[in-house]
Structure 1
Amino acid sequence: MTKPKVTMQDIADHLQISKNSVSQALTGKGGVSEETRKLIIQTADELGYVYPGTRKRSSDQEDKEEAAGSIALVATDFAFSLRGFFGEIYLTIENEVQKRGKKLLIQSISQQMMKDRTLPPFIEGREVDGILILSHLSTEYMNSLIDTGIPTVLIDHHHPDVHADAILTNNRFSAYHVVKYLYELGHIRIGYIGNMSFSPSYYERLEGFRLAHHELGMEMHPKWIISDALEDQEFMETRLQGLEEQPTAWFCVNDGLGFIVNSTLYKMGYKIPADISIVSFDNGQLSRLATPRTTTMGVDLGLFGRTAIRQLFWRMQQPDAPHMELLLPTTLIERESTSVPRI
C-alpha cells in the first residue's frame, strides 16, 4: 500500500500552527522565528515531507534567487484583455515590484486550468514569494492557490469562502453617492442597470443604490431595476423598449453599459440629458467617447496597484495576521450626461 504524501497541512496540524507558518519556514521566507523554523524543518524531515520542485542548485544560484525573488500575477484571459481597466493596474504592479528588486511572473489562467485545478509551474513549485490574483477566478481555483501557503492578495474581487486579503473599490458607498448626487439634481425616479451574477462589485453597487433610496425616502421601482444586463445592443434595446415609461436617470454599473444605454436611448428618440440623465462607473475610455460624455465614478487604478503591492509585501512579513479587505474611494466626475430633470 502506497504511503500517503505528507502535506504542509499535515505538518501544521502536527505542530498545531498555521499552514502559512509552515510554508514560510520551508520556503525560506521571513515571518517565523529561527527557533520555529528549525522545529518545522525537523518535523517535516521526521514526517517524510517531500519538497516540491526540488532540484540541485549551486549556492550562487540560491543566493541570487533569495536576493531577488519573484511575485506572481495571475488572471483570466478575459481580465488581461480589459486593458483599459486592468492594464493600468498591471503596469503599476510591474513598476512597484521592480522598485522592490523582485521579478513579476505573469500567468493567464484558462478555463481548462480552473476546471482541472492546474497551477502554474512556478506556483506549484513554490518558486514565488507572493501571489496577486487580478479580478475573479473560480472560488475553488483561488483556494487552490491559497492552499499552497504562498501569501496571496486579491485585486477587485472577494468571496466569503476565500480567505485572503482583498483590495476593493468601495462599491456600496460609491453607488450611494451616485444616487444622492442625482437626488440633489432633482431626480427621484432612478433606474439601475447591471449584472449581479457577473461580479460581486455589481451586486454591492445595487446594495448602495438601495441604501440611498432608503435613507433619502425615495421609492424604488422594480421595473427600473435591470439586474441581468448584458453589454449587448440588442439586449438593451429589447429591455428598454419594453418599458412603459423611463426613469429620469439611469445608473449603470460600468462605462460599457453606460455607453450602450446612451446609444439605445438616442435610437429611441430621447435626448441626453434633457430627457434622461446617465451616470456610469470606472471613468474608462467609453465614458469619454460617448456623446454626450458620461458622468462617471472615477477609480484610481494606480492606487489599486500600489495598495495591492504594499499589502502583499506586508502579508509576506505577517503571514499569520488576520485577513483584511481594503476599500478604495472613488471620485464623481461630472460631465454632460447629467442635468436637472425636465419635470
Structure 2
Amino acid sequence: MLSNLLTILNKSVGYSMDSKVTMQDIADMLDITKVSVSKAINNQPGISDNLREQILTTAKKMGYHKTNNREKSTSYNFAWICPKRFFLEDETFYTTIYYYINKRLMEKGHTISCFVINDKEESENKLPLQFSQESFDGIFIAGEFERSYLKKLEMIDCAKIAIDFYLPDMNIDSIVTDNFYTGFEATNYLIRKGHMKIGFVGNINNTSSICDRYFGYLKALMLNDLPVRNDWRIVNNDPVTGAYTLDFSLPKELPTSFVCHCDKAAFILMQKLHIEGYKVPEDVSVISFDNTSICELTIPKLTSIDINRKQIALQSIDQMLRRLEHTDSSPRKIYLGGHLVERDSITSPRKEQLIP
C-alpha cells in the first residue's frame, strides 16, 4: 500500500522510483542553474542560505542520492554577450573569437546562444529577456561593458569568463592579451626603426585593453627619454557607439609615427592622413594591434601585432569548463601574448624629420 502511494507521488512530479534523479532535474524543478544545485549539495559558497535550504529540501523530496563520483553533464548551455560597438560587421576581432568558441562547443556537445547588446540596452542596464527565462551554466562576456551593466551580469548565478578585459573589482575569470607588454613592444619596434616622435591613437578611458596598451607605449617612450605630448594623442571613434569617424584634427606638428590601439583605428588614421596630403609610410609610419583582415586591405598594407583569436577562444572554453568543475577556486587572470606581423606601413624616418 505504502509502495503504491510513493509510486503515485513520484509520478505526479515526473519521476519514477526506477529513475535516477540528477542535479539537472533539481535545477529544472526550481528553475535555477545546475551550478547552484552543485554548490548546495557539495556545501560550497556562492549561494544564499535560503536557496541552499530550498535546493536540499527539493533534492530530498525528489529522492536524489549523492554519489562519490562527480555527476557528469552530457552538455552545458552557455551564453555569449557582447556590446554592439565591438561586434561590428567590419570589425572581425570578436566575431572570430565567437566563431571558434561556437565551433568547439558544438564539437563537445554543448550549446551557446549569442546576444549582442546595443547602446540603449546597455545604458538602461537591460539584460536579454532569455536571461530571465532560460538557465545558463556559464556566460562568456566579450568586450568591456559599462560598469553598471557588468555589475548586473555579475549578479547572475552562473560561471562567467571575461574575454579581452578585466576589472579589479570583478570576481570572475579573465582571458586577456598582455596589452601592456605588446604596447611596449610595438613602440620599441618603432624606436628601433629610428623614430623619436611617436603618437598614440585611442581613448584610454574606453577600455582596460586600450589603457594598458597606452601605458606600455608610455613606458617605452620614458625609458628612451622620448617626448610624451598630449597633442600627439588622438581619438578617432565615438566612445559610446564605437563608430569611427574622419571628423578629427591632426596635430599641427605631426609625429613621424603612430601606435594605434586597433586595426580599424589605424585604417581611419591612414585615410585622414591621405586626405590631408600625407603619405604612409614616407611621411608617417603606422603600427596597430589585432592583425585583422583590414591589414591586407589598407594601402599600404598595415603592420600589426597579431592577437591569436583562436587561442583566446580555446583558453576561454578551457577556463569555463574548469570553473564549472571547481566552483570555489579563486578567479584566474590568464594572459596571452602576441607577435609582430610586418607589412608595408612602417619605414625609418627621413633625416630632416629627426630635427627637434
Selected match of 1:233 from 230, 246, 263? 246
Work out whether 1:286 is the aligned partner of 2:294. yes
In the alignment, the residues of structure 1 paired with residue 96 and residue 137 of structure 2 have an alpha-carbon distance, to the nearest angstrom, of 23
- Give, in angstroms, the shift of residue 150 of structure 1: 0.3
Offset at 1:314?
A: 0.7
1:219 to 215, 227, 230: 227
* Greater CA drift, 224-233 or 177-186: 224-233
Partner of 1:102: 110
Q: What TM-score comes out, normalization by structure 2 length?
A: 0.75
- SS state of the match for residue 247, structure 2? helix
Structure 1 residue 250 and structure 2 residue 258: aligned?
A: yes
Offset, 1:112: 4.8
Corresponding letter in the other structure for 2:349: P
Counterpart secondary structure, 2:43: helix
Residue deviations 1:152-191, cap 9 Å, x none?
0011122233221111121111110111101111111111
Unpaired stretches in structure 2, ≥5 consecutive residues:
1-26, 59-71, 239-243, 352-356
For 1:299 and 1:307, how far apart are their aligned partners in 2? 13
TM-score normalized with structure 1 length: 0.78
Q: Secondary structure at the match of 1:167?
A: strand
1:31–1:317 CA contact under 8 A, matched in 2: no
Task: Give the structure 1 partner of residue 336 of structure 2.
Answer: 328
Is 1:72 equivalent to 2:79 in the alignment?
Answer: yes
Q: 1:285 & 1:234 partners in 2: Cα distance?
A: 24
Q: Residue type of the partner of 1:224?
A: W
1:182 counterpart = 2:190: yes
- Local SS of the residue matching 1:127: coil
Q: Distance in 2 between matches of 1:149 and 1:76?
A: 21
Q: Which amino acid aligns with 1:300?
A: N
Provide the C-alpha distance between the structure 1 equivalents of 2:55 and 2:190, rounded to a whole number of angstroms: 64
Q: Which moved more, 1:173-182 or 1:194-203?
A: 194-203
- Secondary structure at 1:106 match in 2: strand
| Partner Cα separation in structure 1 for residue 48 and residue 259 of structure 2 | 56
1:269 aligns with 2:282: no
- Aligned length in residues: 301
- Report the CA distance shift for 1:69/1:179 in structure 2 as closer, same or farther (over 3 A): closer
Tell me the secondary structure at the aligned position of residue 211 of structure 1.
helix
Taking every aligned residue pair, what percent have the same amino acid on both sides? 25
Contact between 2:34 and 2:137, CA under 8 Å: does it hold in 1?
Answer: no
Q: Distance in 1 between matches of 2:56 and 2:134?
A: 15
Pair 223,42 (structure 1): closer, same or farther in 2 beyond 3 Å: closer
Deviation at 1:203, TM superposition (A): 1.4
SS at match of 2:92: helix
Aligned CA-pair RMSD: 3.1
Contact 2:85 2:118 in 1 (8 A): no
